[in-house]
Amino acid sequence: MKPQDILTEKTSLWIFGYGSLVWKPDFEFRRSKVGYIQGYKRRFWHGDNFHRGNDEMLGRVVTLVEDDDECTWGVAYEVTGAQIEESLKYLNVREAVRGGYITKAVEFIPRGDGEAPLLALVYIATADNPIYLGPASCEEIAAQIAVSHGKTGHNIEYLLRLADFMRACCPEVADNHLFSIEASALALVPYLLASNPALSTL
Ligand SMILES: N[C@@H](CCC(=O)N[C@@H](CS)C(=O)NCC(=O)O)C(=O)O
């Protein structure tokens, strides 16, 4: 018997997304829930030399940093049966091989009264990762995002889609780190367009 033979429709796995996975899971799932995990804060402290940057100009993408006083909102996706192997194979390439993320198990708390917490898999880039960038001011992070792009697109798209998700799906959450970076990056766009009109086609 192969491992995947035990994966019936009753077998289920939850995968928690808090960055590009909230707006672009790109794998099949049975259902999804908006909610949060406790003990972590989301920070644009991870480098990206593939999707939103390159080896000469690393992009900045999000990871999770342990902090007992914080929580991070996102989306948990339930995959069942054959979706489990398919999603993990896909995410291993997108997140681990190309993104430098490792996997951890966390407790996901769905939004909504009476919803039971769920054990979920999450992809985290830790400080020992070779392209981990660590802390910087929101202005510095915004400036790096404003000029970075990679094989999947411009880094500013990554930032704006995450901010749009939080406004649309978690309007009650004040993510100052995310929205300060967004405001700083948007303030730079006119200068970027003036110096490089081709950016207007983004
Ligand atoms: N692991 C986080 C972050 C995922 C993430 O943003 N990973 C990057 C890899 S560096 C990615 O998939 N980027 C795809 C894109 O930029 O469209 C999540 O759960 O959403």
Task: Give CA–CA dist 33/49, Å, rounded.
Answer: 30
Interface predicted TM-score of the whole assembly (ipTM), two decimals: 0.94
- CA 124 / ligand 1 centre spacing (Å): 10
**Assigned domain for 178 exists:** yes
28 falls within a domain: yes
pLDDT tens by residue, 76-111: 999 999 999 999 999 999 999 988 999 999 999 999
In the prediction, which pLDDT does 194 show? Answer: 84
What is the predicted pLDDT for the residue at 28?
A: 98
Q: Is residue 46 within 8 Å of residue 124, measured between CB atoms?
A: no
Please indicate, yes or no, if residue 202 is contained in any of the structural domains: no
Instruction: Please tell me the distance between residue 162's alpha carbon and the centre of ligand 1 in angstroms.
Output: 10
Domain presence at residue 200: no
Residue 137 lies in a domain: yes
User: Is the pLDDT score of 201 beyond 80?
Assistant: no
CATH code of residue 188? 3.10.490.10
The boundaries of the domain holding residue 182 are 3-195
Q: What is the pLDDT of residue 191?
A: 86
Contact predicate 149/194, CB 8 Å: no
pLDDT over threshold 60, residue 24: yes
For the segment 12-28, the average pLDDT, to the nearest whole number, is 97
Closest ligand 1 atom to residue 95 Cα is 9
- Ligand 1: which residues within 6 Å by Cβ? 17-21, 24, 48, 51-52, 61-62, 94-95, 99, 101, 123, 152, 158
In this structure, is residue 201 part of a structural domain? no
**Model confidence band, residue 15 (pLDDT cutoffs 50, 70, 90):** very high
In this structure, is residue 96 part of a structural domain?
A: yes
Considering the candidates 56, 66, 78, 95, report the single residue annotated as catalytic. Answer: 95
Count the domains in the chain. 1
Name the region of 81 (left: φ>0; alpha: ψ -120 to 50; beta: rest): left
